[in-house]
Amino acid sequence: MDALTADDMMMFINAATTSTAQGEFHGGAADQRLSLDFLHDYVIGNYRDLYAAALALDINDHNAALIVRKLLETTGDATEEQRRVEGALIARRLRLLPPQRVYDLFGVLRRARVNNRRTRAIIRDWVAARPDPAFDAVKYRTGLKRALRHAHVAPAGELAPFLFTTGHRRRYDTPLLETWRRAHYEQASVYGLPYTVAEGFAAKHGIDRATFLKRIEPRLTKLERLRVQGAARRGGADVAIDLGSMPLTRLASYVLSLPMTERVERRDELTDALRAAAVRAAGRAAGAWGRVAAVLDDSFSASGSAQKRRRPLAVALACHHLLAELASEYVPLWTSGRTDALLAHPYGMTPLGERVLDALEHAPDRLLIVSDGWDNAPYGLAAEVLRVWRTRLDPERRVVAVHLNPVYDAVDFDVKRLARAVPTVGVRDAEDVPALVEFARFTEGRAGVADLRAHFDDRVARFLEEG
């Protein structure tokens, strides 16, 4: 039973790290949603404590929101102590989620008629802790209004007439609310609003797109700058992006979205930015991993899907730069055989077995494989190579070997594994790799369920202390 618990939880954490219920290269969105929903229902029904504790781990935002929803929907199944711990975990995790995702979650709870006392208290406390209520009222007006109604909370001051009075057009003392009011008839006020709100007013006033982007540029967030840069350039506007402050994996996605010619023209700038982001992610562990060999999958399946375009390749590119900083000696081996990481693009088959052989020839201290696990050139060679290597050449496990998989396999309710001889863990962002490599020991059978529970308890304690 202990082994089953450990296997089930590792499977769930892998899924919660990689799957966003969107289409993948080898599976559609409907299959992903069905598989993920079943897995959540299975785990909360059998391991509620560990299920809630997953909120303290490096899972993605989609699954964090889904866990919160499932816990609140099943409040009646929890003991008093479980509700206490769950409440603290939920409150802390909601503060870390993007506000638009939290408002979407509250909307799902409203439509599902989940309105128990704990749910209302969580909504009330989260809304009360928001740093700028006026900003939320303008940018997330519908979400905030519905959340307040669902939690039976009356907003203070001018927010009440702003949110709930139809056609209310009196002057406001709150500057942002007054700017929103004036933007209905005054173009200059449009540029004092959040970008997503200002867009609607710009269309209403018939403002030229290039002019709008040029003047709204100071108010753009980092993510908004990424989204509009292409359109801005085509319209003759210049939207600056501070590449040096971007997270590593998101920066890798941005680089891969650029045409090859632009990557070549901006080679020094992009390479320096990727290296700087990798240095930040490596932190004090820089150079501490010894000799590292990495097998990096840039085969055609790394192109991802329409919803997750080039996501697997972006993770591989980000891992490439991070591992270069973590290692004292580093050997990258792309499945395509290419050596210019900046010009990486999805192409060809997946000869993982050959690349693993090449990597082992370098006698590394650590072997990292970043791939979706679809080894097909020839099929199964990587599994056989790793099996023979582990049983015949390295039975003492002197070399740390981990397969990092960024893609959820809906059929197996897990990420696709290469071989039993090497642990496989799901990866969402390259920044999590050091923690994931440590976590991989639970998939090898070297640690039992007691160790797994102790790990969860430690992560929960640290997670709540940081809040």
At 356, list the tokens: 């693993």
CA distance 164 to 375: 57
DSSP string, 278-301: HHHHHGGGTTTT-EEEEEE--SGG
> Is the Cβ–Cβ distance between 346 and 374 less than 8 Å?
no
Verdict on whether the full-model pTM lies above 0.75: yes
Q: Which two tokens stand for residue 245?
A: 């402050």
The CATH class for the domain spanning 273-466 reads alpha beta
Q: What is the pLDDT, as a whole number, of residue 230?
A: 62
DSSP at 263: H
Domain ranges of the chain: 2-242, 273-466
Residue type at position 288: A
Place of tokens 């603290």: 88
Burial (CB < 10 A; 0-12, 13-18, 19+), residue 170, is: exposed
Q: Check if the beta carbon of residue 171 is closer than 8 Å to that of residue 178.
A: yes
Per-residue pLDDT of the chain (467 residues; tens, 9 = 90+): 466 787 888 889 999 999 887 878 777 888 889 999 999 999 999 999 999 999 999 899 999 999 999 999 999 999 999 999 999 999 999 999 999 999 999 999 999 999 999 999 999 999 999 999 999 999 999 999 999 999 999 998 889 989 888 765 678 899 999 999 999 999 999 999 999 999 999 999 999 888 888 888 888 888 888 777 766 565 555 666 778 788 999 999 999 999 999 999 999 999 999 999 999 999 999 999 999 999 999 999 988 888 888 999 999 999 999 999 999 999 999 999 999 999 999 998 889 999 999 999 999 999 999 999 888 878 889 999 999 999 998 888 899 999 999 998 888 788 888 888 899 999 999 999 998 888 887 776 556 677 788 888 889 999 998 86
DSSP SS3 for 408: strand
Answer whether 159's CB lies under 8 Å from 148's CB.
no
- Angle (CA) 250-253-254 rounded to 5° is 90
